[in-house]
Amino acid sequence: MNVADRIELAVLTGCGVVLALLTVFFLNVRIGAVPVPFTVVIAAIGTTLLLRLAAGTTSSSWRYAPLVAWTAVVVIAAVPGINGNGPLIGDWRVLLLLLCGLGLPAMATSMSRLNNL
C-alpha cells in the first residue's frame, strides 16, 4: 500500500466519523409525535459505500477502518454522559441504527466473498 492509498484510507475513515456524527445527531428527528429515523437508511447506504471504496483501496484488514470508526462514534454517543443523559435515546432507534449500519455492510461483504468463490 503506497502513500496515496494510505491518504485515501485516512480520508475514508474521516468520512466514516462524519457520517456517524450526522446519523447520531439526526436520529431523534420527529414529524409531529412520530419518530422518523431516516438516518438509519443513510447510515446503511453510507457505511456500505465506504466499505466498498476502502476495499478498492486495500485488500488488507485496514479496509474495515471506516466501519470501525463509524461504530466507535455511534457506541461512544450511546454511552450516557455525566448526568446520566446521552445524545441517544435508549430505544429501538439506536438498535435499528446499529443493525442497519453494521448489518448491511456485513451482508454485502459476505455476499461479495460468496461471489468470489
Q: What is the pLDDT of residues 21-30, one digit of tens each?
A: 999 888 888 8
pTM of the model: 0.86
Contact partners, residue 42, CB within 8 Å, separation at least 6: 19, 22, 23
- The CA radius of gyration of the chain, in Å to the nearest whole number, is 15
91 vs 48 pLDDT, higher one: 48
Q: How confident is the model at residue 115 (pLDDT cuts 50, 70, 90)?
A: low
101/19 Cα distance (integer angstroms): 10
39/27 Cα distance (integer angstroms): 6
Q: Decide if 38 contacts 23 (C-beta within 8 A).
A: no
Give the largest Cα separation in the chain, rounded.
Answer: 51
pLDDT of residue 40: 93
Determine the length of the chain: 117
The predicted-structure confidence for 57-86, as pLDDT tens digits, reads as follows 888 889 899 999 999 999 888 766 666 666
pLDDT of residue 1: 76
Instruction: Please give the grid coordinates belonging to residue 24.
Output: 447520531
Q: Which residue in this structure is represented by grid cell 414529524? A: 31
